[in-house]
């Protein structure tokens, strides 16, 4: 499947000339991730991992946790174009996803996925199998995380996002609640809503 085909759902839901959202972009040397704090109908965090030239995306209602004992719901959404990784702004009322978006964390990641025999699995195969393990190198999040698809039915895939044991574990920190500002600009969703 081409990237244009993978991005058809994204393009079909938006008028980027009105929303201001990007529509293209090319991959870099290393795969990137971004987590955007999106204050839309409900506040949530959008986790995006670069896989095969697009940003594969999940909406995480409560945001990521640094506690391996906490499982966070992550609902798979449509793939996004690469340029979305730096998007911050106000999506106007009446447009899909209307609200404010800031880049809450960004960086690169390494695929650590493996099968039951502990053999490495390519990230696209891990996505198809429904279990991804990856190491984030971000400003706020570092270390291993895992995404696992749950067997529930419905229109959208439900996954669980978990901080794996190892580097970056902090059971006392609550970055999703305590650090609302963009790592790129220092602006908050409130700043954008107020026109700052």
* Mean pLDDT, the chain, whole residue set: 92
Q: Which of helix, strand or coil describes residue 110? A: strand
CA–CA distance, 184 with 100 (Å, rounded to integer): 15
- Assess whether pLDDT exceeds 70 at residue 153: no
In this predicted model, what pLDDT tens digit does every residue of 3-28 receive, in sequence order? 777 788 888 888 888 888 888 888 88
DSSP 114: B
Residue carrying structure tokens 């409130």: 190
Distance CA 149, CA 130 (A): 5
Q: Could you tell me the pTM of the whole model?
A: 0.91
Looking at residue 33, what is its pLDDT? 98
Q: How far apart are CA 133 and CA 112, in angstroms?
A: 5
Cβ neighbours for 171, distance < 8 A, ≥ 6 positions apart: 66, 67, 69
User: Could you tell me the two tokens for 72?
Assistant: 């966070």
The Cα-based distances of 17 to 25, 40, 95 in angstroms read 16, 19, 11
- Joined tokens for residue 172: 């006392």
Q: Which two tokens stand for residue 30?
A: 């290393």
Give me the residues paired with residue 75 across strands: 59, 158
* 70-121 per-position pLDDT tens digit: 999 999 999 999 999 999 999 999 999 999 999 999 999 999 999 999 999 9
């Amino acid at each position: 499947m081409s990237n244009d085909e993978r991005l058809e759902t994204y393009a079909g839901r938006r008028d980027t000339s009105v929303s201001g959202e990007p529509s293209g972009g090319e991959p870099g040397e290393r795969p990137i991730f971004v987590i955007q704090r999106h204050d839309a109908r409900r506040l949530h965090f959008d986790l995006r991992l670069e896989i095969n030239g697009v940003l594969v995306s999940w909406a995480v209602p409560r945001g990521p946790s640094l506690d391996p004992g906490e499982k966070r719901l992550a609902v798979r959404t449509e793939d996004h174009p690469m340029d979305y990784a730096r998007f911050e702004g106000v999506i106007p009322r009446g447009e899909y996803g209307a609200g404010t978006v800031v880049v809450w964390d960004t960086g690169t990641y390494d695929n650590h996925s493996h099968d039951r025999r502990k053999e490495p699995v390519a990230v696209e195969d891990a996505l198809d199998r429904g279990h991804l393990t990856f190491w984030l190198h971000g400003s706020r999040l570092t270390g291993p995380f895992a995404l696992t698809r749950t067997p529930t039915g419905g229109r959208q895939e439900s996954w669980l996002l978990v901080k794996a044991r190892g580097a970056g574990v902090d059971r006392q920190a609550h970055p999703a609640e305590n650090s609302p500002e963009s790592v790129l600009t220092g602006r908050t969703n409130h700043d954008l809503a107020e026109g700052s």
